[in-house]
Amino acid sequence: MQKTKLPGMDEVFDEVQGFVDEIYEIQDPIDDALGNLLWYTNFHKTVGATAHHCCVGIVFSLAAASNGAGVENLFEVKPASPFLELNKSSAQGDTIKAIDAFTDYIKALTAAKDRIEPLADKAKSFAEKAPDLPGKCKEDISNSKDLGMMEKAKAAKNTASNSKHMAKLPSLVTGLKDTIQEAFESVQGAGKELNAKKDKLSDIGKDCAAKKLEYPKDCYLEFGDPINVDGNAKKKHAAQQKKMKKKEAKDEIRRRNELLLDKLYYIDRLPGKLHPFTLSIDRPPSAYSLNRHNREQELDRIDRENIKMLNKIQHASTKYSIEDLMSDRY
């Protein structure tokens, strides 16, 4: 939430920010696990693909790996959560990661389901307060002696923007509830399809192996039920792609930070001369010298390089953005 520099307003908006952070704490593990599940099954670019298709594809690929042998214990359908269990004892490589991602997905959904109802009440309370906030802001601005004209204008603008987002919070929580429900239904659908194809699973495995279909996606597209691709599926796929790009960007920032910290680690522990891992190919021989003057010059140069690197790194905000949360849903 955007700050107003009005204590009364910011107290309310800080509370809303905490609520938004809590929504992200619920939603992020679901999105991350589903993203990993789609990625490791190679469904990440397939419009309309859900956990249903990933799970069935995984079982098909496991059957293919054994050339149709021993398919009886590859999965188990349950009447309650997790609704479906996948046996990874014969899995290899990315298939193991895909099954782990599915397990994480179910755990995240189960945890979210337990937390969502109290959030609905909170969201309703915030939405009811939202229409009165612009008027209260005007009162606070008129009573404020510390803010200049530009700061007062910005406070009014930020309050209007924050209030607009607050009014949408109930529909946001409803959307998250629908996402959780649809996710569980998707997993249940996978169980139904697998049960329906149980007697044919050995033949499917043999055919997948004969056609050298490597990924769960390839096996599913060949032998699974058709994937529904409507306007809603396209919209969800676009949102999922957007989230995956954000995750990739965050992972790249984390990777660059780790490289920088690794470099600083070696610099901080110099045993009389520079550690070779801190040196690039084109660095002069003086870098290796025990001559104090040369060594200090080289350290200064490395410090300047590190400062430049730090300035290039985009550090993530410590708080989640309600604007980003809304843009993912609307």
Instruction: Give the residue carrying structure tokens 């929504």.
Output: 23
Q: What is the DSSP string of 61-82?
A: HHHHHTTT-S-TTSEEE-SSTT
Residue 310's pLDDT is: 63
User: Which of 319, 313, 247, 327 shows the shortest CA–CA distance to 24?
Assistant: 319
pLDDT of residue 295: 62
Q: Which residue has the higher pLDDT, 272 or 174?
A: 174
pLDDT at 81: 87
What is the residue whose two structure tokens read 């188990």?
76
Residue predicted with more confidence, 57 or 286:
57
CB 64 within 8 A of CB 90: no
Q: What is the predicted pLDDT for the residue at 252?
A: 78
Percentage with pLDDT > 90 across the chain: 43
Q: Where are the domains of the chain?
A: 7-229, 252-312
For the residues 262-278, what does the mean pLDDT come to?
Answer: 49
For all residues of the chain together, what is the average pLDDT? 83
pLDDT at 160 over 70: yes
pLDDT of residue 126: 92
Q: Mean pLDDT, to the nearest integer, of 152-180? A: 90
Average pLDDT over residues 283-293: 51
Mean pLDDT, residues 274-290: 46
| Higher-pLDDT residue of 148, 316 | 148
| 163, 134 contact by CB (below 8 A) | yes
Q: Of 302 and 80, which is predicted with more confidence?
A: 80
Higher pLDDT, 319 or 86: 86
pTM of the entire predicted model: 0.74
What mean pLDDT do residues 32-49 have?
93
Could you give the 3-state DSSP secondary structure of residue 51? helix
CB 194 within 8 A of CB 71: no
pLDDT value at residue 269: 46
Give yes or no for residue 99 having a pLDDT over 90: yes
The span from the CA of 108 to the CA of 33, in Å, is: 8
